[in-house]
Structure 1
Amino acid sequence: MFALSSVVAHIVGKYRIPSSVVFGCPKHVSYQNAGQLLEMAKSIIPPLTYDLHKGMMGKIGVVGGCKEYTGAPYFAAISSFKIGGDLLHVFCTGDSASVIKSYSPELIVHPILDSDTFMTQVDQWLPTLHAIVIGPGLGGSNVNLKNAESIIKMARKRDIPLVIDADGVNIIKENPEVIFEYTKAIITPNMAEFNRLFDKVMDGEKQNENDPILNVKMLSKKLGNVTIVRKGENDIITNGKHVLVCGNEGSPRRCGGQGDVLAGTMGTMTHWSHTISQKGSSNNELFLAFGPTITAAYAACLLTRQSNKQAFAQFGRFMTASDMIGQLPTAFEQLYL
């Protein structure tokens, strides 16, 4: 057995963080072998066997999609589907449903997000879902945000793992209590979203400009140790106790949709990870140390960066999120199979 704090070294530079590390105290780094972290991620990938039936690999919900933003929920849902989720449900507004349906016949689209009977309709589907991604393309409508917040509350009561991304982060900013201490949730803000969330939740406390890791840990603790993935040059993943940083090579391209791909893959990954945890079937020491939520977040970050790297190698500055999705199968095989 190895210790989580086996080797200690100072961080060099403000954001130049080694590609695969485990952080102890904010000013120091305890290194973990990249191969060990990869094995941790691989340990949550369920094998394909002939005795499986439809739905066992994941019935995942995506809450988002409005008239202005139809691509985001599609990117999240199809990414979740591509890496192995069996059934993908998109809960969107009535005026976006036909557009989202036209992108792919594989998605199950529910045009109910802005419906007066939303609560009644969504309640019949929630018991069937294994994980829910909330936020891609949600938009700023009060109705959409209110109904999405209701799903968070309902999912908590049913103990359903959550990934809260994009516009969903605004729900947490306005009402942190909705997610407080729910450790099956992952919040995935980009840098700008993180800054706004930090300012609101931390009651005016200033961030440490020289220690981004400390900032993310502080916010996670304030939210009751909810896992945060602060996306950026390096993805900082923490539940306020443990920290992983995924800085594997991606690309310098910053087109829209990349965060949706990450959120979607994380939706499927968190279902797999929590299933293994509930069964008690893992003997991977790092998985047991970090737990299912951080492990799923790290595995999804690693996969998204690999697909990003491969797509950029092929398309360069002309790469789009769709190109990344096309690379998910080969990226997944290279990392996890």
Structure 2
Amino acid sequence: MTCNNDTAEIEARLLKECRTIVPLMEANLYKGRAGRIGVIGGSLEYTGAPYFSAISALKVGCDLSHVFCPLNAAPVIKSYSPELIVHPILDAGNAVDLIKPWLPRLHVLIVGPGLGKDSGILDTVGSILQFCREQQDYAKPLVIDADGLFMVTKNPKVILNYPKGVILTPNAIEFSRLAKSVLDKDWEATSDPDPEHVRALAVALGSNTTVVHKGQSDVIATASDGVSVVKCAIGGSGRRCGGQGDVLSGSLGTFYFWASLKPVRDPPEGDGCFPPAVIASYAACLLTRECNSRAVAKAGRSTLATDMLEEIHPAFESLFEN
């Protein structure tokens, strides 16, 4: 379906649709109904990234957040928070077999935060995604960021026409590398991306693919309806601290699950203009930018991703529960 409204009308429609996917906090809910998110990532060098992603998913409102990581990263990630369920199995010789039983319990997989570029680990992750592709009962919607994008750049077929839907969240440099690999285009890395370039990459990767190009304005394009390209330019700041993209990926994991469900509130008039992946992506971009804006207002140049975590609740309440 095509949306022909102007930018302001599109963003107003999107915000209304974002609000419809937020589940009500009712007494009859049981643990897991609001989402069980899995993060595949972490390495000896990068333990913060999977933490920021997994804890952001929880703070947005999912019920359980799992991290699948190598053995040497697990104790550090565990030490950051007792809220996370940490599985130190990603570098085991039988990692795929160890992870398989957990897949039916998860609603969305976030692939890449802090993953590193170890070829053995990347092969294992590729095997997990291939298993999900071949076994429909195990297939999960995917959010791919950071070193997960490196994996896709090296082998785009790993997500090509992935059946359950996949959202990629590249920054400017990651996008330019993907464009070269997938489209053989030498597009310059820029924080002000061309929406048609973002659309072209999404279409090339298959009908279930959405691309979120992070930048001065976040540009979201999907191939799921062939037409949707939207921008999120509200909020944000000039402070680009490490971990901000992980806050986005974790938030997106929770929103993606919520968007895949039938809305629990009455939809706005004309609901259905945007696919679930676009609604989820817009919600996550808007929330992350608002968290950044609020954190920078307090800490300025000293703002860190940990400061942004503290802003998730007030930002969420202001954007989606008014």
After TM superposition, the score normalised by the length of structure 1 is: 0.88
Letter in 2 for 1:4: C
Is 1:222 aligned with 2:204?
Answer: yes
- Post-superposition shift, 1:284? 3.6
8 Å CA contact 1:287–1:295 kept in 2: the answer is no
**Structure 1 residues 223 and 103: alpha-carbon distance in aligned structure 2, compared to 1, 3 A threshold:** same
Inter-partner Cα distance in structure 2 for 1:282 and 1:81: 25
Map Cα deviations across residues 289-308 of structure 1 (whole Å, 9 max, x no partner).
Answer: 21111110100000111111
Measured on the aligned residues, the alpha-carbon RMSD in Å equals: 2.1
Aligned counterpart in structure 1 of residue 111 of structure 2, from 104, 122, 134:
134
Give the superposition deviation at 1:6.
Answer: 3.6
- Whether 1:270 aligns to 2:241 is no
Amino acid at match of 2:52: F
Classify 1:142/1:213 alpha carbon distance in 2 versus 1 (closer, same or farther; 3 Å): same
**Is the partner of 1:89 in helix, strand or coil?**
strand
**What aligned pairs does 1:1-337 form with structure 2 within 5 A after superposition?**
4-7=3-6, 21=7, 31-32=8-9, 34-156=11-133, 157=136, 158-182=138-162, 184-204=165-185, 206=187, 212-225=194-207, 226-240=209-223, 241-276=227-262, 283-284=267-268, 287-337=271-321
Residues 40 and 53 from structure 1, CA distance in 2 versus in 1: closer, same or farther, beyond 3 angstroms? same
**3-state secondary structure, aligned to 1:125:** helix
Task: For residues 82-121 of structure 1, give each alpha carbon's deviation from its aligned partner in whole angstroms, at most 9, with x where no partner exists.
Answer: 1111111000000000000000001000001111010110
Amino acid at match of 1:246: C
Gapped runs of 5+ residues in structure 1?
Answer: 8-20, 22-30
Deviation per CA, 1:165-186: give whole Å up to 9, x if none.
0000012112212211236110
User: Cα offset for 1:152?
Assistant: 2.2
Count of matched residue pairs: 312
Distance 1:248 1:286, change over 3 A: farther
**Which residue identity does 1:169 align to in structure 2?**
L
Residues 286 and 267 (structure 1), Cα distance of their counterparts in 2 relative to 1, 3 Å cut: farther
Q: Are 1:185 and 1:227, in contact at CA under 8 Å, matched by a contact in 2? A: yes
Instruction: Return closer, same or farther for 1:211/1:170 CA change in 2, 3 Å cut-off.
Output: closer
Q: Unmatched 5+ residue regions in structure 2?
A: none
Distance in 2 of aligned mates of 1:329 and 1:184: 28
Aligned mates of 1:288, 1:233 — CA distance in 2? 27
CA distance in 2, matches of 1:193, 1:118: 27
- Give me the TM-score of the superposition, normalised by structure 2: 0.92
The one-letter code of the counterpart of 1:82 is K
